[in-house]
């Protein structure tokens, strides 16, 4: 069994790295990370993608007339690479109509909270400031809303009395690096 995936990222890329590590180690046997898409040429994830020789499409949104224009090019790249699942791992943009029309149901996103709690930016900070006793990580299918699509996998993280916002972030990121590869494996097994 094989599944060709694309990973979209805008920043650090620790989740793209975790997915690639899982492919290399055999944990994601059969998964082919055949395209990395990045909308910020200066992001650290770009170095990672180059060092690991992952085929990429790196672009600057301002070089295009609008979202439809760059999403049309992304859609072509996904089709050329025969991608079967799109994974948003820290892609800091709402997906628009062009990609949704083709990819809804085959596109997942990673979010650092127990959705529907704390959608949008800085979910870990939002949870921390709200003083919750538990938060977590969600993998969900992407729709037109902000972190509102069907939830696929979720796992809780306890906020301990001695946690700081930084230690909580660390726990959440560690869990993300496991939960996202788990979700990809589960989707492949269900195909």
Using alpha carbons, select from 141, 120, 135 the residue that is nearest to residue 187. Answer: 141
Residues 6+ apart with CB under 8 A from 136: 113, 114, 154, 155, 156, 157, 172, 175
Question: One symbol per residue from 10 to 29: x for binding ligand GRF (CB under 6 A), - otherwise; what is it?
Answer: -xxxxx--------------
Cβ proximity to ligand GRF, 20 vs 111, nearer residue: 111
Question: Does 40 contact ligand GRF by CB under 6 A?
Answer: no
Using alpha carbons, select from 115, 105, 101, 55 the residue that is nearest to residue 85. Answer: 105
Kindly state the smallest distance separating residue 45's Cβ from ligand GRF, in Å: 6
Question: Does 111 contact ligand GRF by CB under 6 A?
Answer: yes
Three-class SS state of 168:
helix
Kindly state the smallest distance separating residue 12's Cβ from ligand GRF, in Å: 3
Catalytically annotated residue among 111, 140, 173, 177: 111
- Please say if 111 is a catalytic residue: yes
Question: Does 136 contact ligand GRF by CB under 6 A?
Answer: no
Question: Does 107 contact ligand GRF by CB under 6 A?
Answer: no
Question: Does 5 contact ligand GRF by CB under 6 A?
Answer: no
CA distances from 186 to 36, 86, 104, 147, 171 (A): 21, 14, 18, 20, 23
Give catalytic residues, as residue numbers: 111
């Amino acid at each position: 069994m094989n599944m060709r995936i694309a990973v979209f990222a805008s920043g650090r890329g620790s989740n793209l790295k975790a997915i690639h590590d899982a492919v290399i180690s055999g944990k994601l046997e059969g998964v082919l990370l055949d395209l990395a898409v990045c909308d910020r040429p200066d992001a650290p994830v770009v170095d990672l993608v180059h060092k690991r020789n992952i085929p990429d499409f790196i672009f600057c949104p301002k070089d295009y007339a609008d979202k439809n224009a760059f999403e049309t090019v992304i859609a072509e790249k996904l089709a050329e690479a025969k991608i079967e699942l799109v994974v948003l791992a820290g892609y800091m943009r709402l997906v628009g109509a062009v990609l949704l029309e083709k990819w809804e149901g085959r596109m997942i996103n990673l979010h650092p909270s127990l959705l529907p709690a704390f959608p949008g930016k800085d979910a870990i900070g939002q949870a921390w400031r709200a003083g919750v006793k538990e938060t977590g990580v969600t993998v969900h299918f992407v729709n037109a809303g902000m972190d509102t699509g069907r939830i696929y996998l979720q796992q809780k993280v306890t906020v301990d009395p001695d946690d700081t916002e930084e230690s909580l972030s660390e726990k959440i990121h560690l869990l993300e690096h496991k939960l996202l590869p788990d979700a990809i494996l589960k989707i492949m097994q269900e195909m």
